[in-house]
Amino acid sequence: MLPAVFLLGVFSIGSATSTSPAALLVTRYFAGLFGSAPVSNVSAALGDIFHMRARGIASTSYAVCVVGGPTMGPIIGAALLTNPRLGWRWTEYIEAIVVFAIVVLTFFCLPEMYAPVLLQRRAARLRKETGNSQLYHPHEHLQLDARSILTKHLARPLVMLVSEPMVTVISLYAAFTYALLYLTLEVFPIVFEEIRGWAPVDSTLPFLGLFVGVLLSSLFIICVGQPYYIRKFDSGGGRPVPEARLMPMAVGGFFFAGGLFWFGWTASPPISPASPIVAAVVFGCGFCIVFGQCINFLVDTYGPYAASATASATFLRSVLAAAFPLFSQPMFRRLGVGSAMSVLGGIATLAVPVPFLFMIYGKRLRKMSKFAPFNG
């Protein structure tokens, strides 16, 4: 991940110094390309680093960062744009500064945590200490060539997306909720700047409601979701219990759908602005619960193939998150905020049964899967 993240910082500086639309588009494309590396791999890395008893809290912390960035970004961006001495280029400069700081911190402070690499190093050390050339780990003979990259590492996530029902449905659910988050980034300025007449920076402050909801979701997982999972994990003999991730996901689905309806029908005056902001807390909380548990479900289910499974989800949600903002403003202006949010809330309501269906059919689907190690 680190070389890719470093290049994200480099291309962010390229965007900041761009002098033409073409240069800006090219540098932003490559920044997005290399910036996708941590989004695709962090979930699987958490599976390497943390035991299943602790992974729920770790994944929730990751989800807080994934959602917290987009909710805090508009506030920072608006403050930069309204400052005559800074402007839009500093949105890219600040991104580069943060990226390079993270690269340095991670390079020096985060040790290698991938089990095959650690075992490979142990085997090499034991060969040197004992002189026994028979000691080795299979990872040492792993060949990484262009063909294996194309057929295994790039193709497998797409194969799983179309051939694994669990990956398909969970990825769609996570992608839809994630795309709605990006869509709401477009509706907040309409509601608070255009309809209510707030100043540019003031109109971004309600994004803090989303962030508060994200923080509350972590509290829910720590106090309710994770203890529930540990009980199921212990009663199952210490084996992964993906279905135990579904109860919090079901609760989050109700919060998410209800919050969308609430926001849409209290967005306009004369209703107090406090109401849609509280609604943002509710659907922000629901979103983060759903998103985090979707990732945990895939990691628990697919084990050694978790990186490919989560990459499938990342691919789909990135496509939708890029597409939704393109039609969001015309949709909200033509339908009205209440009607448009009701459409989205209705779709979110249709998705509410997803975790309940997996509670019923999850074990059967895992048993039929070509990639999931079935654990009973």
pLDDT band at 153 (very low <50, low <70, confident <90, very high): low
**Spatial distance between the Cα atoms of 235 and 363, rounded to a whole number of angstroms:** 16
Q: How far is Cα 303 from Cα 142, in angstroms, rounded to an integer?
A: 19
Alpha-carbon gap, residue 37 to 68, rounded angstroms = 18
Lowest mean pLDDT: which of 64-68, 92-96, 249-253? 64-68
pLDDT bracket for residue 96 (50, 70, 90): very high
**Residue 111 confidence (pLDDT) above 90:** no
Does the structure show a pLDDT above 70 at 151? Answer: no
**How large is the average pLDDT for residues 300-304?**
81
Tens of pLDDT, residues 6-64: 999 999 999 999 999 999 999 999 998 898 888 777 877 887 788 777 777 787 788 78
Q: Among 31-40, 53-62, 317-326, 341-350, which range has the highest average pLDDT?
A: 341-350
| 240: its two tokens | 């992964």
Residue 375 has pLDDT above 60, yes or no: no
pTM attached to this predicted model: 0.81
Residue 137 vs residue 243, higher pLDDT: 243
Residue 277 pLDDT: 93
Q: Which of 362, 342, 372 is nearest to 259 (CA)?
A: 342
How many C-beta atoms lie closer than 10 Å to residue 81's C-beta? 15
Angstrom distances, CA of residue 127 to CA of 115, 119, 130, 296 = 18, 12, 5, 37
Is it the case that residue 106 has pLDDT exceeding 70?
yes
Per-residue pLDDT at 262: 94
Average pLDDT, the chain: 85
Q: What are phi and psi of 83, to 5 degrees?
A: -90, 115
Q: 3-state class of 56 per DSSP?
A: helix
Residues 154-174 have pLDDT tens digits of 788 888 888 888 888 888 888
Q: Are 295 and 41 in contact (CB under 8 A)?
A: no
Cβ atoms of 293 and 249 closer than 8 Å = yes
User: Contact, 285 vs 150, CB < 8 A?
Assistant: no
Q: What is the pLDDT of residue 94?
A: 93
Q: For residue 105, what pLDDT band results from cuts at 50, 70 and 90?
A: very high
Nearest to 35 by CA among 3, 67, 77: 3
Residue type at position 71: T
Residue ranges of domains in the chain: 2-110+143-368
pLDDT at 191 over 80: yes
**Please, which pLDDT band fits residue 360 given cuts at 50, 70 and 90?**
confident
CATH of 2-110+143-368, one of 3.30.1300.30, 1.10.3720.10, 3.40.1360.10, 1.20.1250.20: 1.20.1250.20
Measured CA to CA, the distance from residue 126 to residue 133 in angstroms comes to 9
